[in-house]
Each structure stands twice: as C-alpha cells, then as structure tokens.
C-alpha cells in the first residue's frame, strides 16, 4: 500500500513565496516611512537612529525580496515540471511578474550601491542619485502586489493595502518636497558667510526672514540644499550651533569634502 504525501513540494514553495512576498511588501513600506522625515517620528526617535534602522532593515527587506523571487521560481518549476530557464521565460510573460522583477532589480542596485565597500568608492551625489531608483522599484513592486492572489483575493485587502502605500506616498511628497520648498520660499534664506573653523570643519552663516517660525534650537539637526553648482542635488547635514539671532542662523558641519562647499558658495 502506498501512502500519498500530504505536503507537495510546489505547494510548500508557493506558501513560503506568498509569506515572504507579503513580508517584503510590508518591509518596503516601512523603509519608505522611516525616510519620509515626518517630524513626529524624527523628533521622537531621532534622525540618526532612523537612518540606522533604515540601513539595517533594508538588508532584510532586500533578502526577503530575493527570497520571494527564488521561492516563486522554484514553486513554478516544481508545479509545471519545466526547467529553470523555461520557468523564468513563462513567468516574465506576466506583466505583474515582469514589473516585480524590474522593481527587485532596482532595489538590488540600491542595496549594492549602499554596501560599505562600494559606497566609499562612489561619490555622495551618485549614491543619493542611485537611491532615487528605490522609489521606482517600490512602485513596480506595488503594482505586482495588487495583482498577486494574497492581496487581490479580496476588495477589502486591495483597498487597505493601497491606502497604506498611498498614505506613505503622501507623507514622502509632503515632507520631502512640499514642506522644504514652502519653507525656502517663506524664509528666503541666503548664505552670508562661510567660516573654515578647522580642517574638515566649517560653519555656514545664513540670514532670512521670520526665522523664529522655524522654532530652531541650538544643536538641532538640519539638512540644507544650497542652490550652487554641484551642490543643489544634495541635501547636506548641518547642526545649528547657536540660537536664532536677528534672523541669522549659524550652522556647522564636519565633512572631508567641505572645501568643495566653500569653493562653490564663495568661489
């Protein structure tokens, strides 16, 4: 008498693929939220801690994405009895799967560029520019998630999942685009002096209007984007070294490339 196994290999692969896919989709959402610069989150946790969580969590999320792809491929191969190459061709024929593959490739590119050995070899602007592909990768992965059976099986789950991503997208757009532009127009900040305090340490003196509305305090962390050649694409980190006085801000930073800042601002 033969006993039929109760667990099929393709079903096991499929179950693990679905689970890892849901985790990776949720993980991408959390990673985007950590870098949305929401004041309530940054003030309560700290920007430096959020950045560390983002860097650490990104590795796990990327591992889940790759694991999801591998498990799905193995499950399809076991279910159809085809070889890996044929299975890849068949799966990529589905638009949602092709979008997910492209999104995963973009996220992998960001992850590789963020590796310690590689990050030190590329410029800061190139590294930050590469990170912009993460948004496109997340959007492509989101399109795949809505087409997958775990989310698409219910109109309620589709709505809830879409609302979560929409909420994070709104927070990203508001706090990383709208708020900085609005504050720049409101306060009209201008650099009036650059002081080289020590090797690799520089202070920037800025003046503007209604700076008391910023409610800035000494020691507060800021990211400034200077509209100067070679600098406007990058938000540079500074710390406020003194309270606001007469609509004047005094920031300082430690950076090996600050000579470039001085040359660009007051060449």
Predicted confidence pLDDT, tens digits, the chain (267 residues): 344 444 588 889 989 999 999 999 999 999 999 989 898 888 888 878 888 899 899 999 999 999 999 999 999 999 888 898 999 999 999 999 999 999 999 999 998 888 878 877 776 667 777 888 999 999 999 988 888 788 888 889 999 999 999 999 999 999 988 988 888 888 888 888 887 777 767 778 888 888 877 777 777 777 777 777 666 767 777 778 877 777 777 676 666 555 555 555 555
Alpha helices by DSSP H, the chain: 9-34, 39-45, 47-80, 84-92, 95-114, 116-119, 124-131, 133-147, 149-152, 155-173, 179-187, 258-265
Q: What is the pTM of this model?
A: 0.78
Output phi, psi for 253, to 5 deg.
-155, 155
d(CA 13, CA 84): 14
């Amino acid at each position: 008498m033969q006993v039929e196994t109760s667990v099929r290999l393709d079903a096991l692969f499929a179950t693990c693929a679905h689970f890892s896919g849901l985790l990776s989709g949720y993980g991408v959402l959390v990673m985007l939220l950590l870098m949305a610069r929401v004041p309530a989150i940054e003030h309560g946790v700290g920007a430096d801690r959020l950045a560390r969580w983002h860097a650490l969590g990104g590795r796990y999320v990327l591992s889940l994405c790759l694991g999801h792809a591998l498990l799905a491929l193995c499950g399809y191969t076991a279910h159809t009895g085809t070889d890996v190459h044929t299975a890849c061709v068949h799966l990529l024929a589905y638009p949602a799967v092709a979008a997910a593959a492209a999104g995963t490739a973009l996220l992998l590119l960001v992850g590789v560029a963020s590796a310690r050995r590689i990050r030190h070899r590329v410029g800061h602007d190139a590294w930050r520019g590469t990170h912009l592909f993460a948004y496109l990768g997340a959007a492509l992965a989101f399109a795949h998630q809505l087409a997958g059976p775990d989310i698409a099986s219910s109109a309620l789950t589709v709505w809830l999942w879409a609302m979560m991503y929409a909420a994070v997208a709104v927070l990203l757009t508001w706090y990383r685009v709208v708020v900085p532009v609005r504050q720049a127009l409101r306060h009209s900040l201008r650099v009036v002096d650059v002081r080289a305090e020590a090797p690799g340490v520089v202070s920037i003196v800025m003046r503007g209007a209604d700076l008391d509305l910023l409610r800035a305090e000494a020691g507060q962390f800021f990211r400034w984007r200077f509209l100067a050649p070679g600098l406007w694409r990058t938000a540079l980190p500074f710390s406020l070294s003194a309270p606001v006085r007469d609509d004047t801000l005094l920031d300082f930073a430690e950076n090996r490339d600050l000579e470039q800042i001085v040359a660009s601002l007051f060449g």
